Structure 1
Amino acid sequence: MAEAESRRPAAPGEDVKPFTPEKTKEIVMSLQQPAVFCNMVGDWPALHWNAKYLSAVLDGKTIQFRLGLKTMGLVPQFETRCSYVKATLEEFLAWSCGQPSCLSGPFSCYEFSKYWAYADYKYIARIFEDKPEFFQDVRWSDFGFPGRSGKESTLWIGSEGANTPCHLDSYGCNLVLQVQGRKRWHLFPPGDTSFLYPTRIPYEESSVFSKVNITNPDLKRFPKFRNTTAHVVTLSPGQVLLVPRHWWHYVESIDPITISINSWIELDADHEARVEEAITRMLVCAIKSAENPSDGDPWLNPTEVEATSHEINLQYLNKAVLAYFKWQKANESEQPCSSSSDAEQRAIASCKRKKREVGCEPEGCRLLTHEFGFSTFKAENLQKIPFGPHLIQVLPQSQETSSIGAVAVDSGDLLHENEGGHFGKLHCTRKQLVMSNDCETPAHQMDSDGSPNASQTALSTNDLLDCLVNPHVINLVARLLLERTRV
């Protein structure tokens, strides 16, 4: 009964939106500041996807959860510092409620008062591969992307305290629907990149991490963090957050159970970004693979599975450069703001991160600058954006006002070539990393905040890499390489 009710047809007038799909897409593709859409998804069946409902639908299917400590050290809890278990949603819900049955289950080694659990980056296409009708519960066509549904989306299920380390995504922009509970988003503009001490260790394609634990910053070690401009917003069920290109974000669950659905929207600027990512991969893999394995540095994020060889990385670079010039040539032969057909877009699309196996389509013409970290949006363009009760701007903390309406703003929030010859990450089939459930693993992985000893002065490989693969440096190298290739 619940399943049938979830996908019932919208009643007359129920599907009236404050913005047309065309207008919404225009906002998504042009706005370079975070904003929250309200009253856009009231008729989406996916709003019924609370944890109990999904548990019944999945009926005992296991998914992988990442576990971290609720206590905050000075170093972010990167995925390399977490533990992993496979469990059902029923077991997760029992654990989060403190039920005795958890004493012998997959969460038995993790005391709920000390740990959080996060089932993140779960591809809806994979979770519901035997129930494809569920894809239509997610309707990104309302945002101007016809044909995009749950099949091109990702599911996130977390307990209170679950979080993702502060990072920026090299590719695209992001639309996030909050389904259950609330999440607090801490966002920083691209111009704050140098203040956030970017690093590529742990390495994950298309994710640039910050060394700073922004909820407990080590200002002695990272003094420039004081110069950042935080935009903090608490996203509630039924709201959709736009995370523009290259905006840093740290996300934390602040309710007992949170569920979100997101989809990444590709941009034309991603073509150059793929070249930058290919250069980064070559350098990181070459230098880190040369280290003594006994050093025990978990430099590769679990989602990357393995370090690729120099030969494969060079192929990846050449494919990225070739695709860039192919796109550039096609773009020059078209009208300035025209977009290619859906079929052509899918042919060149690649997804956001190693984890993101379900594709995103590049769309339209954007007001973007390619200079990494210096994205601008002129005041006259901002004035054209219809901010109001249905589209709420996420303001810097110093500019918070009571006009934010329904949005609660806190003052504190491989190359694996695809069939058909596509490069990148669209529809690629990833290996599944089998993580240990050893009860001693958490203590081994999370007993230290990883801060260097004050007397430590010797430079490490990671110190060198932080300079070599700094986003600004890689951007310059990519431009020089593309110029050389063009000649």
Structure 2
Amino acid sequence: MIPMLWEIIGNTSCIINHLSTAVVVIGCIFFFPYIGEDVKPFTPEKAREIVMSLQQPAVFCNMVGDWPALHWDVKHLSAMLDGKTIQFRIGLKTMDLVPQFETSCSYVKATLEQFLAWSSGQPSCLSGPFSCFKHSKYWAYADYKYIARIFEDKEEVFQDVRWSDFGFPGRSGQESTLWIGSEGANTPCHLDSYGCNLVLQIQGRKRWHLFPPGDTSFLYPTRIPYEESSVFSKVNVANPDLKRFPEYRNATAHVVTLSPGQVLLVPRHWWHYVESIDPITVSINSWIELDADHEARVEEAVTRTLVCALKSAESSSDGDPWLNPTEVEATSHEINLQYLNQAVSAYFKCQKANVPEQAHPSSSGAQQETRASRKRKRQVSCETEDCQLLNHEFSSSTFKAEKLQKVPFGPHLIQVLPQSQETSSVGAGAVASDDRDLLHENEGGHFGKLHCTRKQLLMSNDCRTPANQMDSDSSPNASQAALSTNDLLDCLVNPHVIRLVAQLLLERARV
């Protein structure tokens, strides 16, 4: 092989004239596989540290080159599914001032082979499931497709997804979700109540518009349509109605175009609007659990109880599509209250596990010191987590953990900066709002979404043990009485809550 290569080089004038380039080519082809083919820019421990600590979006490069899942383009997936149909959400390509929520879309069941034919404009689609939707006017999106469900008879494919490289051993395709879309397919702007998000792009490109938690009030959040763990924005980010939503002018979009082989980190409570910009896109994501999720589940349980109670009291003939298609049905008050109690139990179990055992204080002074210490910890947690949404305090350089002293931004971890900060130090495509890709040459520095089913009520810390199988420490006991409907109502009609609700209703009436 070596003599043949030198012969080729000798016959190729362009390479002879650029000998240094030829040497690089030789090094890449012949030496790289033997001196660290599996070497990645970050160890699993370092990658996990970044994922769990970084409070701004970033793109990992050169971390998944050996993942078999990189071959999961639509043709490959079509062969894997072997004629199995999946549901596609259909939306209009025309840009309206109102977001295209899932409740306003059409739905069809089709094979990936039929999807490929339709997306390429083949005449055979005139009689297929997409026959009512012209490819030039509509987009199709197979979203929220849980790999564990669609490949339940082919569990071996779970290992094609290796989140262990990011420091999460045992996490594979079984804990991941598949997304397949045509050009224009999009997800309305929303934030996820739980966890942070890792997204692998496989085929085509997607453009992400991300907003920090501090922009929440500028994005006009809503829970209708209702979906557990998703808070939607009333603003169509792609075509905002500034007359109706003037505060959106104050929002700061971080825009990035994700290309195949790159992995995007979406930190906790970052808003995101996602759109496919190539004819066909395929991506895989996994939501990573965080300790803060336990408190979020309590909030979600309260929200579900209220929404289901109020909306189920309406006339069934009003035609109000309030429940997102990702939610199977409105659950009963009994189930919702049980879910709320399980969420509260899990929260206190997590709190107990995170507080180290201390000797019983022998004086009131010691007790006060312990309480003060705990109060400070809670205040710090509030400042770095949930209170960002209420106080709108956000800094792109804030981290959850102090151990991440310096973020290793560079060619392997690209910072996603605000749209107005497209400087040369970040790279030509890292934060651009146009169609350019991220550059590796950058020289700069429902199932719930965590696979915790509502029907299982709540999961334990590892998100795998159903709540009804938890140990006795997680169940209500003498020191933690079960919450009743009256307890919930007493909190809901608290004067502070009523005052806030009245203010929100008055603000809505002014629009």
User: Does the alignment reach a TM-score above 0.5?
Assistant: yes
Q: What is the CA-CA distance between 1:416 and the residue it aligns to? A: 3.5
Any conservation in 2 of the 1:416–1:424 contact (CA below 8 Å)?
no
CA distance in 2, matches of 1:174, 1:473: 31
Change (3 A) 1:184 1:377: closer
Residue by residue, what CA displacement relative to the aligned partner does 1:55-87 show, whole Å, maximum 9, x if unpaired?
122111111100000001111000000011110
Change (3 A) 1:425 1:17: closer
Any conservation in 2 of the 1:182–1:255 contact (CA below 8 Å)?
yes
Q: Match for 1:136: what amino acid?
A: Q
Relative contact order: is structure 1 or structure 2 higher (C-alpha 8 Å, sep ≥ 6)?
1
Match of 1:369 among 385, 391, 406: 385
For structure 2, list consecutive stretches of 5 or more residues without a partner in the other structure.
Answer: 1-31, 359-380, 436-445, 447-452, 467-491, 502-511
Does 1:211 find its partner at 2:249? Answer: no
Q: What is the CA-CA distance between 1:377 and the residue it aligns to? A: 5.6
Q: What is the CA-CA distance between 1:132 and the residue it aligns to? A: 1.4
Q: Match for 2:223: what amino acid?
A: R
CA distance in 2, matches of 1:241, 1:141: 16
Please tell me whether Structure 1 or Structure 2 has the larger radius of gyration of its CA atoms.
2
Any conservation in 2 of the 1:175–1:242 contact (CA below 8 Å)?
yes
Give me the identity figure in percent: 81
- Give the TM-score normalised by structure 1: 0.76
Any conservation in 1 of the 2:56–2:397 contact (CA below 8 Å)?
no
Match of 2:83 among 30, 47, 60: 60
Residue 7 of structure 2: aligned partner? none
Q: What is the CA-CA distance between 1:20 and the residue it aligns to? A: 0.5
Residue by residue, what CA displacement relative to the aligned partner does 1:145-185 show, whole Å, maximum 9, x if unpaired?
01111111111000000000000000000000000000000
Change (3 A) 1:379 1:287: closer
**Matched residue count:** 397
Does 1:304 find its partner at 2:333? Answer: no
CA distance in 1, matches of 2:418, 2:458: 45
Change (3 A) 1:123 1:421: closer
Match of 2:454 among 416, 438, 452: 416
Alignment of 1:134-153 (within 5 A): 134-153=157-176
Residue 398 of structure 1: aligned partner? 420
CA distance in 2, matches of 1:81, 1:424: 35
Change (3 A) 1:372 1:181: same
Change (3 A) 1:420 1:298: closer
Alignment of 1:76-475 (within 5 A): 76-333=99-356, 368-373=384-389, 374=393, 376=395, 378=397, 384-405=406-427, 407-411=429-433, 416-418=454-456
Q: What is the CA-CA distance between 1:421 and the residue it aligns to? A: 7.7
Any conservation in 1 of the 2:219–2:248 contact (CA below 8 Å)?
yes
Any conservation in 1 of the 2:55–2:398 contact (CA below 8 Å)?
no
Q: What is the CA-CA distance between 1:11 and the residue it aligns to? A: 5.9
Change (3 A) 1:426 1:44: same
Q: What is the CA-CA distance between 1:418 and the residue it aligns to? A: 2.7
Change (3 A) 1:58 1:190: same
For structure 1, list consecutive stretches of 5 or more residues without a partner in the other structure.
Answer: 1-9, 336-364, 429-467, 478-487
Match of 1:71 among 73, 81, 94: 94
Change (3 A) 1:124 1:172: same
Residue by residue, what CA displacement relative to the aligned partner does 1:371-401 show, whole Å, maximum 9, x if unpaired?
1424556569686110001001000011112
Structure with greater proportional helix content: 2
- Give the TM-score normalised by structure 2: 0.73
Any conservation in 1 of the 2:143–2:179 contact (CA below 8 Å)?
yes
Change (3 A) 1:424 1:106: farther
Change (3 A) 1:367 1:291: closer
Any conservation in 2 of the 1:202–1:298 contact (CA below 8 Å)?
yes
Residue by residue, what CA displacement relative to the aligned partner does 1:232-281 show, whole Å, maximum 9, x if unpaired?
00000000000000000000000000000000000000000000001111
Any conservation in 1 of the 2:415–2:430 contact (CA below 8 Å)?
no
Change (3 A) 1:304 1:256: same
Q: Match for 2:426: what amino acid?
A: I
Residue 348 of structure 1: aligned partner? none
Q: Match for 1:416: what amino acid?
A: R
Q: Does the residue aligned with 1:304 lie in a helix, a strand or coil?
A: coil
Residue by residue, what CA displacement relative to the aligned partner does 1:346-377 show, whole Å, maximum 9, x if unpaired?
xxxxxxxxxxxxxxxxxxx9994231424556
More off after superposition, 113-122 vs 55-64: 55-64
Q: Match for 1:166: what amino acid?
A: C
Residue 442 of structure 1: aligned partner? none
Q: Does the residue aligned with 1:398 lie in a helix, a strand or coil?
A: coil
RMSD between aligned residues: 2.9
CA distance in 1, matches of 2:83, 2:455: 33
Q: What is the CA-CA distance between 1:410 and the residue it aligns to? A: 2.6
CA distance in 2, matches of 1:421, 1:145: 18
CA distance in 2, matches of 1:113, 1:224: 34
Q: Does the residue aligned with 1:285 lie in a helix, a strand or coil?
A: helix
Q: Does the residue aligned with 2:149 lie in a helix, a strand or coil?
A: helix
CA distance in 2, matches of 1:17, 1:199: 41
